[in-house]
Amino acid sequence: MESLSNRKKVLEQKPMTFGEKIYLPSIAKGLAITFKHIFKKRETIFYPEQERPVSENWRGLHSLKRDEQGRERCTACGLCALACPAEAITMTAAERKKGEEGLYREEKYAAVYEINMLRCIFCGLCEEACPKEAIYLDGPFLEADYLRKDFIFGKDKLVEEPLKS
Amino acid sequence: MSERVKVTIDGISVEVEQGTTILNAARLIGGEIVPPAMCYYSKLEGSGGKCRTCLVKVSKGSEKDPRPMPKLVASCRTTVMEGMEVQNITSPEVKEARKGVVELLLINHPLDCPVCDQAGECHLQDLSYEHGSAATRYEFDRRSFERRDIGDKIQLHMTRCILCYRCVYVADQITDRREHGVLGRGDAAEISTYIEKAIENDFSGNVIDVCPVGALTDRTFRFKNRVWFTKPVDAHCNCDKCSGKVTLWYKGEDVIRVTARKDEYGEVESFICNDCRFEKKKTSDWVIEGPRKISKHSVISANHYEQLAPPPVIRKNPALKEANKEQFERVIRY
């Protein structure tokens, strides 16, 4: 059939000449290209030691934020879990006791907060759903591991480091 | 003796008995022309007339006196007249007024929906989502109260209260003494039991169900889970105090909350007793009737895929039909 784009090239299959049949010129040409690349600038980086800069709207691993007084912002409202299309987020809420006002910002807090990183598709909908600005996908890549259970990140891995006074 | 009168609401005519309120006439028609109501509760005598969210415009008073009513009227308190013409959603004036009412209701309401247990089934949430504006113009401190316990099962967050008086009418209806009321006036008004006394009545838990906001909540359900992660199931039991018809809210295998069955206007079908509400939290206490139907617009039905609408290829191909047998059966059972 006639090509619509007119960009189709018809290849002709001609029998190889003697020069082509002995392959040596082609091998030499190929090796020349390989050796030329030794002196060129390297395109790859050594990943775990070096990292490429990420864009401003990069979405990496989640982190649960603290407010300016170092209290956890998350109030376990469940909107991130509701918005999550992969159903990766689960949580259990608990009531803040007297004397814990310095730890949690709201009356209610997430006692357990788990994200299954194998389910997560890093879409960022949890970030958008959060009414308390508590979750952000500002971390690095997800690192490889051996066991599935190690990909379920709990609060120990998600919550930001406490403020240094 | 009851005469039938004809009333037209948003261009839809309906014949109702004389003495029916405009709101109830609109509920007979149903659909989106029904004015929202925060304080009116058909099961509670004397309720209504407080919140003003059900304001409608009467563009023609009656057949005899066709003049329109000078102001917007509260449809829960205004009775219909022969030939009355009412505008609800077709009137921009009503919409504007309702927006104002919602703004006033929200003046002192804390926006603590992420913490509140009522979130997801809160009428004020629905109302302000539908009619309110996204921003507030109020610049002063909202009034706030300490959280209080009414008895060991009910919790009062006065901060969230919109003073609809529904719970007061419940308390009046279930007891012959006045145990629960509104103290103070105007901005200082608050719902209270006198001297923080627990309401000692088998039906006191119903104040939780009638509360349109999260002011009165179940202490046994406090922070247990968000309502949209729970699964509502209709069930009944033989209870000698009440009808025993309830909705169980499951999370996994556990019943984490028991409520009465609420209809599309958020009103309970029948009041249930405290034993059913607070004590019977095991599946073995109940006879399960089936999953509760939840409006698909409600957040409670989010992520629940009950209805299977398979593509034609699955419906026709016998092999695929066999593979999806379990799901088809589940749909039929529901």
pLDDT of B46 above 90: no
First to last CA, chain A: 75
Query: Residue B195: phi, psi to the nearest 5?
Result: 50, 40
pLDDT over 90 percentage in chain B: 34
* Phi, psi (rounded to 5 degrees) for A27: -65, -45
Domain extent, residue A137, equals: 63-158
Token match 């047998």: residue?
B325
Position A59: which residue type?
A: R
Residue B304 confidence (pLDDT) above 80:
no
Q: Residue B213's closest CA among B96, B128, B103?
A: B128
Neighbours of B111 (CB within 10 A): 12
Cα B174 from Cα B208, distance rounded (Å): 14
Q: Lowest mean pLDDT of A38-42, A68-72, B204-208, B324-328, name the range.
A: B324-328
- Give the residue from B147, B221, B226 with the most A CB atoms within 10 Å of its CB, the best one to mutate: B226
Mean pLDDT score, B181-191: 70
* Residue A79 Cα, gap to closest chain B Cα (Å): 8
pLDDT score for B2: 65
**Chain A residue whose CA is closest to B219:** A95
Whether pLDDT at B25 is above 90:
yes
pLDDT of residue B329: 67
Separation in Å, CA of B127 to nearest CA in chain A: 19
pLDDT of residue A6: 81
A26 domain residue, yes or no: no
The CB-based long-range contact list for A66-70 (8 Å cut-off, 24+ gap) reads A66/A159, A66/A160, A66/A162, A66/A163, A67/A105, A69/A102, A69/A163, A70/A102, A70/A162, A70/A163
Q: Which of residues 137-156 of A touch B (CB under 8 A)?
A: none
Question: In the structure encoding, which two tokens stand for residue B8, read together?
Answer: 């037209």
User: Looking at residue A13, what is its pLDDT?
Assistant: 86
* A123 is a domain residue: yes
Segment holding B126, helix H or strand E: helix B123-131
Which CA distances in Å does B215 have to B33, B66, B166?
28, 43, 11
> Tokens 């926006």 belong to which residue?
B111
Q: Assess if residue A40 is contained within a domain.
A: no
* B178 pLDDT tier (thresholds 50, 70, 90): low
Q: Taking residues B40-59, what's their average pLDDT?
A: 90
Mean pLDDT over B223-237 rounds to 90
pLDDT score recorded for residue B103: 92
Chain A residues within 8 A of B230 when measuring between CB atoms? none
Residue B316: how many other CB atoms lie within 10 Å: 10
Interface contact B299-A82, CB threshold 8 A = yes
Tens-place pLDDT, residues B137-164:
888 888 888 888 887 888 888 889 888 8
d(CA B46, CA B77) in angstroms, rounded, equals 10
Does residue B240 register a pLDDT over 80? yes
* Residues of chain A contacting residue B224, judged by C-beta atoms under 8 Å apart: 93
- pLDDT (0 to 100) of residue A75: 93
Beta-carbon contacts below 8 Å between A and B: 38
pLDDT score recorded for residue B179 = 64
Which of B223, B230, B254, B300 should be substituted to probe chain A, the one whose Cβ sees the most A Cβ atoms within 10 Å?
B223
Range B62-69 average pLDDT:
90
Section B244-260 average pLDDT: 90
A66 is in an annotated binding site: no
Mean pLDDT, rounded, of chain B = 85
Checking if the pLDDT of B334 tops 70, the result is no
The pLDDT confidence band at residue B134, using thresholds 50, 70 and 90, is confident
- Residue A77 labelled as part of a binding site: yes
User: Was domain B4-102 assigned CATH 3.10.20.740?
Assistant: yes
- Chain A residues within 8 A of B228 when measuring between CB atoms: 78, 82
Q: How many whole angstroms from its chain centre is CA B316? A: 43
B252 neighbourhood in chain A, CB within 8 Å: none
Angle between helices B92-105 and B123-131 (to 10 degrees): 130
In a domain, A24, yes or no: no
Return the exposure string of A114-151: e unless at least 16 CB atoms fall within 10 Å of the residue's CB, then b.
bbbbeebebebbbbebbebebbbbeeeeeeeeeeeeeb
pLDDT in tens, A19-64: 888 999 999 999 999 999 999 998 899 988 988 898 999 999 999 9
Q: Which candidate, B290, B294, B155, places its Cα nearest to that of B223?
A: B155
- A105–chain B nearest CA distance, Å: 11
Domain count, chain A: 1
Tell me if A144 is assigned to some domain: yes
Q: Which residue of B has its CA nearest to A93?
A: B223
What was the pLDDT predicted at B71? Answer: 92
> Can you give the pLDDT at residue A128?
94
Tallying the residues shown for chain B, one arrives at: 334
- The answer on pLDDT for B73 being more than 90 is yes
Average pLDDT over residues B304-323: 73
Between B126-130, B261-265, B304-308, B310-314, the lowest mean confidence (pLDDT) is in B304-308
Which parts of chain A have pLDDT scores under 70? 165
A41 assigned to some structural domain: no
Nearest Cα neighbor of B230 from B248, B208, B215 is B248
A57 annotated to bind ligand: no
Taking residues B101-128, what's their average pLDDT? 90
pLDDT at B268 over 80: yes
Residue B264 — very low, low, confident or very high, per pLDDT cuts 50/70/90? confident
CA A6 to chain centre: 41
Distance CA B263, CA B270 (A): 10
The annotation status of A34 as a binding-site residue, yes or no, is: no
3-class secondary structure per residue, A29-93: HHHHHHHHHHCCCCCCCCCCCCCCCCCCCCCCCCEECECCCCCECCCCCCHHHHHCCCCCEEEEE
Residue ranges of domains in chain B = 4-102, 123-133+145-221, 227-301, 304-334
Distance from CA of A119 to the nearest CA of B (A): 16
The dihedrals phi and psi of A148, each to the nearest 5 degrees, come to -60, -35
Q: In what order do the strands lie in the sheet with B287-291?
A: B254-260, B245-251, B231-236, B287-291
Closest CA to B239 of B208, B270, B210: B270
A130 is in an annotated binding site: yes
Residue found by looking up tokens 């923080």 in the block: B196
What confidence tier does B195 reach under pLDDT thresholds 50, 70, 90? very low
> How high is the pLDDT of residue B266?
87
Residue B333 confidence (pLDDT): 47
Q: What is the rounded CA–CA span in Å between residue B61 and residue B82?
A: 9
Instruction: State in words which class domain B123-133+145-221 has.
Output: alpha beta
Answer whether A80's CB lies under 8 Å from A135's CB: yes
- The mean pLDDT of B43-71, rounded to a whole number, is 90
Q: Which of B112, B222, B226 sits opposite A78 (nearest CB)?
A: B226
CATH code at A154? 3.30.70.3270
Residue A95 has its nearest CB partner, among B113, B222, B229, at B222
| B114·A131 Cβ contact <8 A | yes
Using DSSP, state whether A109 is helix, strand or coil. strand
